[in-house]
Each structure stands twice: as structure tokens, then as C-alpha cells.
Amino acid sequence: MEVVSPASLSQALALHTECESRFCAGGTALQLDWAKGLAKPARLINLARISELKAVTESAEAILIGPLATLSELLRDPAISGHVPLLHDALSKVAGPSIRNRATLGGNIAGMTGCLLPALIALDARLEWLTLDGPTEMDIAQWLAMHPKDGILTRILLPLQGQNERWLFRKIGLRAAFTPSVINAAARLSTSAEGDILDARLTVGGGIVPPTRLRQAEALLNGSNLKAINWRALHDCLMETISAPTDAFRSADYRKRIAANAIVHGLGGDLPGRKTFPVQSALASMPAQEGEIRLARENATAVWHQRPDIDAKISGNLLYLTDSRRSDMLVGRILRAGVPHARILSIDTSAAEALPGVAAVVTHRDINGLNAFGIVVQDQPALCFDTVRYAGDAVAAVAAIDSETAERALALIKVDYQPLPIVTDPEEALRPDAPSIHAGGNLQRELHFARGDIAAGFAGAAHIVETTYVTPRQMHGFMETEGGHAYVDDEGTLHMLAGGQHGGRDRMQLSRILGMAEDKIRVVTSPTGGAFGGKDELTVQPALALLALKSRKPVRLHLSRAESVLAGQKRNPMSIRMKTAIDSEGRLVAQKVEVLAEAGAYASLGPGVLETALEHAAGPYVIDNVRTHGRLAYTNNGVCGAFRGFGANQMTYAVECQMDKLAAACGLTAAEIRRRNLRKPGMAGYLGQLVAPTERADEMLAAAVNSELWTRPLGLAADEEWIIGTGMALNYQGNGLGSVVPDPSGGRLSLSRPGMIEGGFGLDELGQGLMTLVKATVAAELGCARDDVAAVIGDTARAPESGSTTASRGTYVVWASTRLAAPDFAGQMRSAAGRVLGREPNMLALAPGGFIERGTNSGDILLTYKQLADQLDEEDLPSVTVTYEFPKNDYTASNARLIFAFGAALARVAISRVTGEVRVLDLHQHTAAGPVMDLAAYLGQIEGGAVQGLGFTLTEDSPMREGLYLSANLDTYMLPGIQDAPKHMQSFALESLAEGDIYGPRGVGELGIGAVTPAIANAVFAAIGHMPTVTPFPTETILAALEEGQ
């Protein structure tokens, strides 16, 4: 592509006529267009040097805007905010700050889909337009109708808004801000002093909605008085005349409805639908809980520590594993199938191999070991050989001198596919006539559990609630996508440095694939830029290893976001049918649960997710008669696997919503029905298994009931748009991998040559604060300072096996390993120090900075740790390694947890009568997970989990069609942005453990996400009487519920 930068309009026009070309103003839309597959033009004509296109001037009647004026310049322009406030308001709602710095008004218009078009039409904007035939001027609506191809926009003329105007601009998107438009509406009513409407402008547009002036609706308004508008007729007319398409995200009807609502409500009219909503009853308070702390820096200055890696992360100095750069380093790329199901007839790599600059091309033929991986079952090929089962399947990989060469080489690899029938719905996948994705059929796993007599339970019930809850294919959305680098050293050891969650297991799986001994492979997994379960399974490691081994050069490989979306794991979508019964006293008497989960093309940890979901089927409640049945189905949709919550949060959503529905059915409060059914200390777990003695469900319920959130305003807000409600949910989350899964744990305490006390753990720093935890735990146990401790983590060559950094197990592993190793290690330290100092070891103690005399508080350091290390030979440096199995019970009928953490979430939400959108105003989380080892890290897990849960609840899903993702990137996959985060969040911890509980601090990695979804759903239920049973909540369904009973 050629880029030219003419200095004048005439030059630009001339250049345009010579060949197929495209004008470029700010250029902010080009990467998106190209990413969507739009071809680059032969010539790009950069208009930025034409200075006459930038000026903004003012006359008595109009503002004259050069099309190259950026949106942020216009947003700051006092002439715009003063005289065209509708445009000012629109500008503030379009794009994000950095995009507005480069995007231009001209670009927004000329792209024909810009979010500002309805505003400009409503403002009667006129455009000056230059073609080879000379300049023309026309109304913007007329210009849009022309679909002009050739010519340059030279000026935008905006008449000033009048004094007596009622106006609105509303952008409705897929999330609160920085979002694609679902539909935008703009309106202006010019009125006389008496309120007679002289001139109305009503418009819609934005994104895929054609920018349109709504003349019929305008005619209804013209001539009538503001006080006498027939809003119902206006709404009906808007519904009839707005034209909007359906896409994968929102229907045409919904778009029309919300635009009509926005116009009617924005102009001061009455919305259709009801205005009366249920009145929430106050909860009776419960006895206050002692000892709960609010997690906040200001409450805890003394125990608030800065995490050790924070400065390096903030300054950009921290090298992630995808940041490694060396002059001899090759760039790797992976060839993805691109088709969801096909037989591979042949793979021809000869042209790619012949391309200059290509160092290695690898396929299944380069695999010496088992061409299969998977944490539970090995059903996923490292590189496909006979079949591809989803569009992101890896088929081949190349390493080349740079990324352009690598990409060109990928395009030269010829793979012949014979398409196979696809199955993309889990229910259909389980039909006998469905095409088989794996040799054993599509039923990957089926699980049953039953206790008591559910038939008798249901027969004696006073109320039965049966609901199907549907949960999404949520994307992990870690900011650092999958990747890393690898090299082979002179001894032939493969060094694999790639984001992951269990180096030891990655090494085992690589060893199996490569046919190499584990001791010839080193795996480094830290620092990783976020994981949330999505880097638990192998990602790029097999292809990266093969490329490094074949090329014998360092190779880096970092997935683009688009490739990460295509190939990476997501949360297993689930459909949970739950039938729950209570007796006349509100006690749970029977429950039947049917779960259908989707695995995608390969199992990964899906079987574990399903099993965990079923293990949490009763939440923290007691039900004597239960039956659960779960199935996990293969499909040709992407791959699914571990994701924070691991099935428990999906099931908690169902359980906790059932409780509120049952409460409504029998007339009890949400608190009272829970109180009558809570687990009690000493009870067995849901499956009948032994559980740890600490039970805190009672305390969490009390904390929720006593929350100040219930006293905040509820019901219809003064603006008559937002309806406010508060809801709660309890949380009960298992820790650890469970009873039937090997769960080896361990760690090491040692004195390093430079004199640091090292806590060595084969766990990974994913962002959660592992290094903080190690420093805090080791210092607390030994009595030294945090600064005396170094965390040695995430490297199979330097840290011992500790198990996976998943399942909220890391905190326990660090704590338990340290406690196990500390007596021996401290003894070795004191002995060594005693020898150096010539003192009795038992008279010495470890203290901040070094050894002190036991029993004194003089603070005198007799010997620093560094001084001790300096005096010792390498082999005499104290070191203690411990290994043990993560605590578990002896339940073997299925996987069962021993340790649980408890929580309660309260959400105060606002629901829009205009759009059906839900916003979270307040989110409070109460937690009981044992001692808080580091306040900041604990708080971070609770808050971060909450907003991930909020995304799961309100905005995040990965819709698919024919095995292909419809959201290819973060432009339409809606991770919560800062404006989606709750306005106010508070987090609390209750630290006590029951007497005799030996399990110490519980992990809180998953606790923060667990109860958020049902708390929000229950708040919606409380506010409008409609329980959302599909996540993310379909705004269309909520809006329909609001309009019922009108």
C-alpha cells in the first residue's frame, strides 16, 4: 500500500482519480476495518497535511468546522458547548479519550456509520463537498442518501441551537461507555415561549443502524404544545417508522423500542409500561458479628504493604515472558484450522520452508512423543494430524526472522481439508444421529448423584420452583494474551518460558508430547499477565517447543488478541435446570438438578468444572432429598476449560436465585428462608464427605442482613427512568482440587548465597500477589521481616513442585509449607548462627534483619542473614523442602472438597426503563476465609473477582455461529470498562477459624466471583419482580418484563 500526503485539496483529488484509493483523516477506523478482513487500498491518501481542513470558525448563525478537527478539540471548544450543546454532549459519549484525540468529525461523517450522524442530522448540519466537478453544498441527510463515493468533505456548517429548545442525545451501547452503538437517538424541539413546538427534529443512527430522520414522528409533534403531546402516539409512530437491523447482539425490535423510549423519555414524556414496582420489605436484623473488618488501606495502614513487583509493573520495566527480545530471536506463528470440523487430507509445507527467512516449519510429523494433551484426558492434538475439530485448532507452526515473514510463510502452507458435518449445540451433539467429534462419541462425561427420596420430597412440598439458568461462554480476557519464548541451551535442555499456571504439569505434558525426559525441560511461568484459569491448560507451549527444538534458536511467540479469541479457552457454557421444593415452614425438602455443559472440541478441565458445579448444587444449605445429573458434551465450538469459579459460580447463581424465588413463593424474606436452611457446624458436606470444621454461613448471612445497603433509597428514581433494588446471595466455595485428584503440594525454605531467606514455591505470579503472600507468610512464621524474604517462584529449575496455581489453593500451600518447614529451617538457621557466633543456638531467635538473643527486646542484631550466608559453604546453607498432599477427605465416590470458604454479596442495582440495562450502584462483599495474610492482595482478589462476575452477569458472552466466534476482539467482546464497575464497592473479612481447624487461611481467588451474579439477579427480582435466568442478562427480556402489565 502506498501512502501519499498531499498539501492541497486539488492535489488530493487528483491523486484519488489515478487509482483505487482511500482517504485517511485520523485513521482510527482503519485497523478495525483491516482486522475484519477489508482489503487495504492500493493508495492511502493522508489528508492530515491540508491545513485548510482543520479550522473551526464561528459566525452569527453557524459554526463552521473543518473536517479534520478532532473530536477532542471539538469537545473542548467553548463555541460548541455554548452554541451547539447537543453536539458537545454527543462528542462526550463517542469513543474513548485517546481515540477522540485522533478521530475527526469528517471521518465520523465520511465513514457513513459514525455515532455522531444522528446528532448532526438533528442539528441540520450542511456539508461542503469538493469533487472534480467543483464544490457543492448540501444537507447532511441528502448527502448520506447519495452514498457519495468520490470527493472530499471540506467543511461542516452547524446552525446554532436556539434558546427555546428541548434536546437530547442518547447513545445506547453494549456496555456503559466506550462501546459499539446499539442505537443512538437525537432530538430537538424548537418551541415558542408558550411551549408550542415550532420545529421538531428526531433522528436515529449509529453503528449498523442507518442514520435517519424520522419525519412522520416530527410531523406528529410540529404544531402541538409541549404540555399536550400525545406520547403514546409518538411512541407508536417511532416504533413503526424507525428502521433498524438485527445482528448477533441485539434484535431490530429491541433497537427500535429503546430508541423510541429514549426519545419519548428524553423529551419529558411518559414511557410505556408500568411505573409501580414491588416494595422491598426491610430485613429483620440479626445479632451483630464480632470481628469482621472492612478491607481498606485507611483502616489498615500498619498492615498495608506495597507488593514487591508493583514499581516495575507501573514503570513498564517488568519484562513479561512475551517481552523478551534478542537480535537472534525468531518469531513464531501458528497456523489455525479456520474451519470447525474437517478431515486433513494433506499438509504441504514445502513452499513455506523455501521462503527466505524461514528457519523452521513444524507439523505433526515433528512430534516424537504423544501427539495429545489435556489435564484430565489427552484428547487434544498438539498439532492436528488427521482431523481438526474447531476453527482454532493448531495445524502447523513456523519460526522466521520476523513476524511478516512468519505470516507470509503461514499463508504458503497448503492444507487440504475435507469438510465434516459440524455440531455446535450441546443438546444436539448428544443426539444419537449427531456427527461424532471424537471416537467415543460426544458425551465427554456423565455424572450422577442421589440421596434420599426426591419423589417423596416433592410430593410433600408446599412450594416448588423449577427454573433453567443459562450461563455464558465467558472469555478470560487476560490482558497479556498467551505466549512466551523458548530456547535450547548448549546441554540440550529446552527452556520454555511461557505464561502458565503450573510449571511442573506443563513440563510433564511437554515431556509427553516431545518424547523428552522431564529433566531436559525447564518451564518458567512467571510473571504471567493474568490467567484466571485460561492458562491452566497448555496454550502455545507445544508449537513453541517444537519450533525452538527444530530451529535451535530462541523463538518468541505471542498470540494476537484475535488469535487468542479464536484458539483460547473460554468458560464452559452451562444450562442448569433446577427444581427445588420447600415445605410449609420454608424448609428445603427436595432438589433435582440437571446440568448440560459444553466442552467445545476438547475436554481440558471441563469434566472437573462439571463435577465442581454439581458438588455445589445445594450451596450452603441442607437438603435431604437430592438428585443431580450432569453431562458434558463435545461440540465444534471453541475449547472451554478452567475459569475462576470453576462451575461453582454458575451453580451458585442457580441456587441463590432459587432461594429468592422460593422466598417470594412462601412469603418469607430472603434472609429468613436462608436462615431456616443453613448448614450447621459439624455437618457433612453436600456429598456426605468430611469437611473442615469452620462453618461461617450463619455469620455471612448475619453480615448481609445487617448491611447498611438495605437502608439506601430503593424504587423508582426521581428521573423516572431507573428502578433501584437490592439483592443478596450467599457463597460457598471449595478450595483445592478435591478428594480423587492427585494434589501434591510442597515448598522450600532456604538461605540463599546473597543472604535472603527464600520461600521457594512452584506456583505462579499471575497478578494475584503470590510474591506478597510468600513474603508475608514466611516473615510471619519465622519472625523475620518481609524484606528479609525473597520469593522464588514459577520456575521448575529453581522452585520445588507445589502443584497448580488454581482452585484457590496457592494461599494454603504457601502457608502450610511454611509452617511445616519452619521449625526445621529455623533450627538449622539457629545452629548455623550459633556456630558462627559461638553461642547456644537455643538462645538465638530470628528477627527482622537477623538473629537476636532470645527473650531480649533490645533489638540488637547479633548477626544478619547476609553475614551468616557469607560465613557458610554452599552445602551448609540451611534449606528445608517439604512435600505433602493438599488436605483432602477420604471420599472416593466422586471428587469432593474438604475446605470451603464462605461469603455473602449484596448488590444495589438500577434498571433502566428506557433500555432494560442494569447498572450496579453498590456492591458489598462479606467473606470468611480464615486469616488475611496480606490485606491488599486479599482485597484485590475480592474486588477483581467481583467485576469479573459483573461482566459474566451483564455484558460478557462469546456468541458463535457455525463454529465461528462472532466477537473476534475487544471491540464487541464486552469486558467491563471502568464505567461498568460499581459506583461503590466495599469488602469485608471475618478471619476467625473454628477451634481445632488446622487448615489455616483459605484462598480467596474464587470467592470474589461466586455470589455476585445471584446478588445482582436477586436485586433485579426485588426491584421489578422479574428474575433474570440467562447471563449475561438479555436487556431485551428485562425491558419486556418492565413493559408487562402496562
Partner 1 sequence: MTIGFTLNGEARAITCPPETPLVTLLRDNMAMTATKEACSIGRCGACLVLIDGKTANACLTMAFQLEGATVITTEGLDADPLAATIRKALAAENAFQCGYCAPGFVMALVALLKENPSPSEDDIRKGLEGNICRCTGYHSIIRGALSAARMVQETLK
- Give Cα separations from 329 to 352, 359, 397, 484, 665 (angstroms): 19, 11, 16, 12, 66
- CB nearer to partner 1: give 24 or 447: 24
Find all residues with CB under 8 Å of 1039, minimum gap 6, and list them: 254, 257, 258, 915, 916
Closest contact distance (angstroms) between CB of 806 and partner 1 is 15
Question: Do 569 and 535 touch, CB atoms closer than 8 A?
Answer: no
What SS3 class is residue 780? helix
CA gap 1, 265 in Å, rounded: 48
Q: Is 370 in the site for partner 1 (CB under 8 A)?
A: no
Q: How many residues belong to the site for partner 1 (CB under 8 A)?
A: 83
Which one of residues 228, 288, 302, 314 is an interface residue with partner 1 (CB under 8 A)?
A: 314
Helix (H) or strand (E) holding 2: strand 2-4
Question: Do 1022 and 282 touch, CB atoms closer than 8 A?
Answer: no
What SS3 class is residue 641? strand
The CA angle 351-352-357, to the nearest 5 degrees, is 120
Q: Tell me the backbone φ, ψ of residue 152, rounded to 5 degrees.
A: -125, 135
CA atoms within 13 A on the CB side of 829: 31
Per CB under 8 A, contacts with partner 1 among 651-710 are: none
Residue with cell 433474570: 1028
Closest contact distance (angstroms) between CB of 776 and partner 1 is 13
In this structure, is the dihedral angle defined by the CA atoms of residues 285, 290, 293 and 298, taken in order, positive or negative?
positive
Closest contact distance (angstroms) between CB of 942 and partner 1 is 9
Which one of residues 147, 149, 227, 325 is an interface residue with partner 1 (CB under 8 A)?
A: 325
Closest contact distance (angstroms) between CB of 362 and partner 1 is 22
Question: Do 771 and 764 touch, CB atoms closer than 8 A?
Answer: no
Q: Is 22 in the site for partner 1 (CB under 8 A)?
A: no
Which one of residues 240, 270, 311, 1044 is an interface residue with partner 1 (CB under 8 A)?
A: 311
Per CB under 8 A, contacts with partner 1 among 900-939 are: 936-937, 939
> What count of other Cβ atoms lies within 10 Å of the Cβ of residue 815?
25
> What count of other Cβ atoms lies within 10 Å of the Cβ of residue 879?
17
Q: What is the CA radius of gyration of the chain?
A: 32
Q: Is 323 in the site for partner 1 (CB under 8 A)?
A: yes
Closest contact distance (angstroms) between CB of 935 and partner 1 is 9
- CB nearer to partner 1: give 1 or 354: 1
C-alpha grid cell, residue 1014: 445471584
Residue with cell 455446535: 424
Question: Do 266 and 168 touch, CB atoms closer than 8 A?
Answer: yes
Q: Is 827 in the site for partner 1 (CB under 8 A)?
A: no
Which one of residues 7, 57, 97, 230 is an interface residue with partner 1 (CB under 8 A)?
A: 97
CA gap 1038, 1021 in Å, rounded: 10
- CB nearer to partner 1: give 187 or 935: 935
Residue with cell 511467540: 557
Q: Is 477 in the site for partner 1 (CB under 8 A)?
A: yes
Closest contact distance (angstroms) between CB of 336 and partner 1 is 17
Closest contact distance (angstroms) between CB of 741 and partner 1 is 27
Closest contact distance (angstroms) between CB of 173 and partner 1 is 11
- CB nearer to partner 1: give 15 or 283: 15
In SS3 terms, 108-175 reads as HHHCCCCCCHHHHHHCCCEEEEEECCEEEEEEHHHHHHHCCCCCEEEEEEEECCCCCEEEEEEEEECC
Closest contact distance (angstroms) between CB of 564 and partner 1 is 9
Which one of residues 99, 226, 355, 785 is an interface residue with partner 1 (CB under 8 A)?
A: 99
Which one of residues 163, 276, 315, 857 is an interface residue with partner 1 (CB under 8 A)?
A: 315
- CB nearer to partner 1: give 40 or 365: 40
What SS3 class is residue 580? strand
- CB nearer to partner 1: give 447 or 937: 937
- Give Cα separations from 901 to 178, 620, 733, 1017 (angstroms): 36, 10, 5, 22
Per CB under 8 A, contacts with partner 1 among 956-1015 are: 969-971, 975, 977-979, 981, 985
- CB nearer to partner 1: give 2 or 787: 2
Contact window for partner 1 (CB under 8 A) among 299-307, 517-525, 612-620, 831-839: 299-307
Per CB under 8 A, contacts with partner 1 among 492-551 are: 527-530, 532
- CB nearer to partner 1: give 40 or 343: 40
Closest contact distance (angstroms) between CB of 324 and partner 1 is 8
Q: Is 279 in the site for partner 1 (CB under 8 A)?
A: no
- CB nearer to partner 1: give 503 or 586: 503
Find all residues with CB under 8 Å of 415, minimum gap 6, and list them: 335, 337, 344, 346, 347, 348, 395, 396
C-alpha grid cell, residue 995: 477451634
Per CB under 8 A, contacts with partner 1 among 158-217 are: 177-178
Residues counted in the chain: 1046
Q: Is 419 in the site for partner 1 (CB under 8 A)?
A: no
Which one of residues 54, 294, 313, 786 is an interface residue with partner 1 (CB under 8 A)?
A: 313
Question: Do 629 and 430 touch, CB atoms closer than 8 A?
Answer: no
Q: Is 310 in the site for partner 1 (CB under 8 A)?
A: yes
Q: In what order do the strands lie in the sheet with 483-488?
A: 358-362, 394-400, 330-336, 555-558, 483-488, 494-498, 521-524
> 187 - beta bridge partners?
168, 202
Residue with cell 449427531: 434
Per CB under 8 A, contacts with partner 1 among 760-799 are: 766-769
Q: Is 317 in the site for partner 1 (CB under 8 A)?
A: yes
CA gap 916, 276 in Å, rounded: 16
Q: Is 946 in the site for partner 1 (CB under 8 A)?
A: yes
Q: Is 410 in the site for partner 1 (CB under 8 A)?
A: no
- CB nearer to partner 1: give 617 or 1007: 1007
Per CB under 8 A, contacts with partner 1 among 243-272 are: none
- At position 40, the amino acid (one-letter code) is K
Closest by CA to 206, choosing from 258, 148, 265, 130, is 258
Q: Which ranges of 636-718 does DSSP label H, i.e. alpha helix? A: 648-666, 670-675, 697-705
- CB nearer to partner 1: give 32 or 146: 32
Rounded to the nearest 10°, the torsion over CA 82, 85, 87, 88 is 70
- CB nearer to partner 1: give 642 or 782: 642
- CB nearer to partner 1: give 231 or 304: 304
What SS3 class is residue 616? coil
Which one of residues 113, 164, 251, 403 is an interface residue with partner 1 (CB under 8 A)?
A: 403
Question: Do 658 and 458 touch, CB atoms closer than 8 A?
Answer: no
Per CB under 8 A, contacts with partner 1 among 845-904 are: none
- CB nearer to partner 1: give 769 or 841: 769
Which one of residues 98, 192, 243, 892 is an interface residue with partner 1 (CB under 8 A)?
A: 98
Q: Is 40 in the site for partner 1 (CB under 8 A)?
A: yes
Which one of residues 607, 685, 940, 1010 is an interface residue with partner 1 (CB under 8 A)?
A: 940
Q: Is 319 in the site for partner 1 (CB under 8 A)?
A: yes
Which one of residues 306, 346, 857, 1046 is an interface residue with partner 1 (CB under 8 A)?
A: 306
- CB nearer to partner 1: give 326 or 414: 326
- CB nearer to partner 1: give 44 or 64: 44
Which one of residues 47, 95, 574, 1016 is an interface residue with partner 1 (CB under 8 A)?
A: 95
Closest contact distance (angstroms) between CB of 987 and partner 1 is 9
- Letters for 53-92 (x = contact with partner 1 by CB under 8 A, - = none) are -------------------x-------------------x
- CB nearer to partner 1: give 493 or 969: 969
